[in-house]
Amino acid sequence: MDVLVPFDARDPNSRLAPVLTPDERRAFAAEMLADVLAALDATDADATVLSTASVACDASVDVDERPLTEAVNARLVGADGPLAVVMADLALATPAALSRLFGTVGDVVLAPGRGGGTNALVVRHPEFRVDYHGASVRDHRRGAERVGATTAEVDSFRLATDVDEPADLVEVLLHTEGRAARWLHDAGFGLRTGDGRVRATRD
Amino acid sequence: MDVLVPFDARDPNSRLAPVLTPDERRAFAAEMLADVLAALDATDADATVLSTASVACDASVDVDERPLTEAVNARLVGADGPLAVVMADLALATPAALSRLFGTVGDVVLAPGRGGGTNALVVRHPEFRVDYHGASVRDHRRGAERVGATTAEVDSFRLATDVDEPADLVEVLLHTEGRAARWLHDAGFGLRTGDGRVRATRD
């Protein structure tokens, strides 16, 4: 399966700004990207990082400065077979969850993200295009219907969890032991319980 | 599979207070409970609602005023076979997701909730006990290890999504067409996109 992994090398995960400096966000984003690429590497995926600028990582990199939707659609136009798109901040992704995505039958297979996003998808229809603005999972369902493509959805907490705000750091600390989790530990983050909610706090 | 569905009939889903009155919260909670029971009814589950007070619903009701952890553990002590616990606010639960939970092999099978909770679990070990305080999914992993029980986890966005704060209403509107979703529509809720985040807003 050919897989695109879009990555913002310039100002990644901007909603983590309340808890991480710009340099820390870039470093943490690179660790999450490495985790996603490692998980993909244990599947049948042939991954290409679609990055807004050059980035050092363990996959081929295709630099495209255009906005996400435009850059992905340019690849869908040229695809001569199935193409998957997997976001770079899915730090909880496992080979099992990704294999379930790639193995689900459908012209368009969606992995919904929390809050209406589309964290990963597989496209097997020549006319389908993405639109990552707004409630994209709803728009992708409609877009698939419009071009006569069958759709399916994969029910995965790991793929639904894009790590883009401070509360999401809890999930990384609880559910992975990958590079992103180690980076958080090294940066002094840990879980705090006690007042009813679980929070990731820093020393 | 014997299944307990804990339900707070007195002050359910208190974190929805910013957007729903107490009466509305009780009504909405009853619709979510009905959705969960309907999903369970399409599996091999034999469901009992474990409620803090009497409640009208389509299952047998076992009233227990004790706190959640204590009430569930009292049933685990007396269980003579596998026992599952499925929270009543899993409005996105489907028969497929629940069957995946029930069919997963392990002495203790956990369905993690967002933020460290345990939204559903199956117990097949006589000594395992629950503790729903704090980061319960972590505590349940440790508790299982302590009594020598094998653990497994089911990776499900639908089971990870307990609907207990305003942002979660987006998930109900996007991912179900059940009674809870209809109740929200009838109460005037709809999706608003446009400023980057998707929100559930009321007319």
User: Is the model's pTM score more than 0.95?
Assistant: yes
User: Is any Cβ of chain B less than 8 angstroms from the Cβ of A190?
Assistant: no
Average pLDDT over residues A74-87: 96
Residue tagged 């009992």 (tokens): B48
Task: Look at residue B200 and tell me if it is in a domain.
Answer: no
Q: Is residue A202 part of a domain?
A: no
Indicate the average pLDDT of chain B.
97
**What digits encode the pLDDT tens for the residues A142-191?**
999 999 999 999 999 999 999 999 999 999 999 999 999 999 999 999 99
Residue B148 lies in a domain: yes
Q: Give the mean model confidence (pLDDT) for residues A52-75.
A: 97
**Within a domain: residue B100?**
yes
B197: in domain: no
CATH number at residue A106: 3.90.550.10
pLDDT score for B79: 94
What is the pLDDT at residue A49? 98
For residue A92, count other CB atoms closer than 10 A to its CB. 28
For residue A170, is it within any domain?
no
- pLDDT attached to residue A24: 98
Residue appearing with tokens 């395992």: B128
3-state secondary structure of A61: strand
- Residue A98: per-residue pLDDT: 98
Q: Predicted confidence band at B15 (pLDDT cuts at 50, 70, 90)?
A: very high
Contact between A117 and A134 under an 8 Å Cβ cutoff? The reply is no
Residues of the domain holding B101: 2-164
Share of chain A above pLDDT 70, in %: 100
| Sheet strands side by side (includes A108-112) | A60-63, A46-51, A2-7, A83-86, A118-123, A108-112, A151-153
User: Which of B157, B162, B163, B193 to mutate to test binding with chain A, by most A CBs within 10 Å of its CB?
Assistant: B157
A195 pLDDT above the threshold of 70: no
Confidence check: pLDDT of A56 > 70? yes
**pLDDT number for residue B203:** 87
Domain membership flag for residue A146: yes
Among A77-81, A112-116, B103-107, where is mean pLDDT lowest? Answer: A77-81
Structurally, chain B folds into a number of domains equal to 1
Please give the interface size between A and B, counted as residue pairs whose CB atoms are below 8 Å apart.
Answer: 77
Average pLDDT for B10-31: 96
Nearest CA of chain B to the CA of A153: how many Å?
A: 10
Per-residue pLDDT band at B78 (split at 50, 70, 90): confident
Residue A190 lies in a domain: no
Please report residues of B whose CB lies closer than 8 A to that of A170: 115-116
Nearest by CB to A158, from B155, B170, B171: name it: B155
Q: What is the pLDDT of residue B19?
A: 97
Looking at this predicted complex, what is its ipTM? 0.96
What is the reported pLDDT for B195?
66
